[in-house]
Amino acid sequence: MPVNPADGAVFGALYGTDAMRAAFSETAFLQRMMDVEAALARAQARLGIVPAEAAAAITAAADVSRLDLDALAAATRNTGYPVVGLVRQMEGLAGPDAAKWVHWGATTQDIMDTAVVLQLRQGLALIRADLLELNMALAGLARRYRAAIMAGRTHLQHALPVTFGYKVAVWLSPLVTMVERLDQMRPRVERVQFGGAAGTLASLGAQGLAVHAELARELGLGESDIPWHVARDGMAEAVNFAGLLCGALSKIATDVILLSQTEVGEAAEAHVQGRGGSSTMPQKRNPISCEYVLAQARGVHALVPQMLAAMAQDQERGTGPWQAEPLAIGQAFLLTHGAVMQARAIAEGLVVDPGRMLKNLAATGGLIAAEQVMMGLAPVLGRGEAHHVVNHACDVAREQGVPLALALQKEPSVAARMQPHEIAALCNPENYLGAAMEFTDRVLNRLS
């Protein structure tokens, strides 16, 4: 049984995704390291350093299914890293003529770091694809409910009227930015690591920089201006991005949970028979996807400090911080992709009840229009006096259980200046949406 539930056969159905689990599995990591070793041999063959026949044999040997995992585990336990044992096995698989050219001029961290970069490239592509689908689903909701009026809430209390389309656009805008942020970040993360023992490539003499460039081209990665053995900002940025994305998803999940409360009932996750049920309460439809967005986000947020702490690398090769990264990177990406997929399920199946929104909007008898009334009276009474008058009318409306419009009619300074129908119009929340719909359109326009 795995220590982390996200890696299990049962709980793994709730945490993460199979696609990301495969991308960051140990088998995938071993294959990626072999891919780097093979790419290095091919790059050096093109530069005339390694015989072409040797490069071909090394490439043929780069097959994770041919590894003796028990022997590799024993070697890793002894050495502290898997690369030494991996290279030895690749030497045996490549044959005696090619064996001496395996790992030529490289160091352990070159192979491991570049292998992780290849995993990150795959992981970021998975996240990007599903994030785009999530954004399209949210955009559809924003368009459909662009003018669906509802109560906006601050401190969990009625504040001013908004539209549901506006609320969804508030969810969507950071996610559009997340796509931009991801695309901007990828060149900083998807860089080859190749520096040799201390990062100077001294083992390759005058050909070091040429091998560095050719290896980057072979793997489809960017060149680095200098080996980043002890400069871990790219790795840390990737996990920090995951933390930011999960934070934005947490906002959506939190709002949907609050909107789906029995007493609110304005929106809810799509219902599937048995989903979100209780073992004792047959009526329950719990917001399961929302809950797992929040759970996975908290897991990712706990891993961000670990990556930041691992940036404190000593001298030209770290003594511990680097080893802490594998405990965070794969899990952060797994949970992030899981959170994105749960958010997609929420957005693509969200059940919205505009009728309940209107009912809740009217629940306070017009008190949600208090600022609207105050601003309407301010040009006549002055802002301070208007605030005082409306505040008093709100108190009367609450104490007597009457609509705000009726309470305002009892205020002498208001009754002397306005007819009842004018007061009623001033208390109509549909007349006080400001730029809610225009803001929604601005977010939607960013997708085009």
Q: What is the pLDDT of residues 205-220, one digit of tens each?
A: 999 999 999 999 999 9
| The CATH fold of domain 1-106 | Fumarase C; Chain B, domain 1 (1.10.275)
Pairing label, strands 157-163, 149-154: antiparallel
Place 389 in a pLDDT band, splitting at 50, 70 and 90: confident
Task: With cut-offs at 50, 70 and 90, classify the pLDDT of residue 280.
Answer: low
Given the residues 275, 278, 383, 442, the one annotated as active site: 278
65 belongs to the catalytic site = no
Q: Provide the pLDDT confidence category of residue 1 given band limits of 50, 70 and 90.
A: low
- Per residue in 246-270, pLDDT tens? 999 999 999 999 999 999 999 998 8
pLDDT band at 283 (very low <50, low <70, confident <90, very high): low
285: left (phi over 0), alpha (psi -120 to 50) or beta: beta
Q: Please, which pLDDT band fits residue 274 given cuts at 50, 70 and 90?
A: low
Specify whether 260 is catalytic: no
pLDDT of 285 over the 80 cut: no
pLDDT tens profile 82-141: 999 999 999 999 999 999 999 999 999 999 999 999 999 999 999 999 999 999 999 999
Among residues 334, 343, 346, the alpha carbon closest in space to that of 11 is found at 334
Question: What's the pLDDT score for residue 276?
Answer: 55
Catalytic residue among 46, 285, 317, 446: 317
Task: Please identify which residue in the block is written with the tokens 């359109």.
Answer: 441
Residues paired with residue 351 on neighbouring β-strands, in sequence order: 268
Residue pointed to by tokens 């009892």: 410
What residues does each domain of the chain span?
1-106, 107-191+228-361+434-448, 367-426
Taking CA atoms, 187 is separated from 214, 237, 245, 285, in Å, by: 17, 12, 18, 44
- How many other β-carbons are positioned within 10 Å of the β-carbon of residue 94? 25
**Is 90 exceeded by the pLDDT of residue 353?**
yes
**pTM for the full model?**
0.93
Q: What are phi and psi of 28, to 5 degrees?
A: -65, -40
Determine the longest span between alpha carbons in the chain, in angstroms.
Answer: 103
- Does residue 399 surpass a pLDDT of 70? yes
Q: Which residues of 322-351 are buried (b: 16+ CB within 10 A; e: fewer)?
A: beebeebbbbbbbbbbbbbbbbbbbbeebe
Architecture of the structural domain at 107-191+228-361+434-448? Up-down Bundle (1.20)
- Over residues 10-48, the pLDDT tens digits come to 888 889 999 999 999 999 999 999 999 999 999 999 999
Whole-number Å distance between alpha carbons of 342 and 358:
28
Structure tokens at 189: 């993360």
Task: Note the CATH architecture for domain 367-426.
Answer: Orthogonal Bundle (1.10)
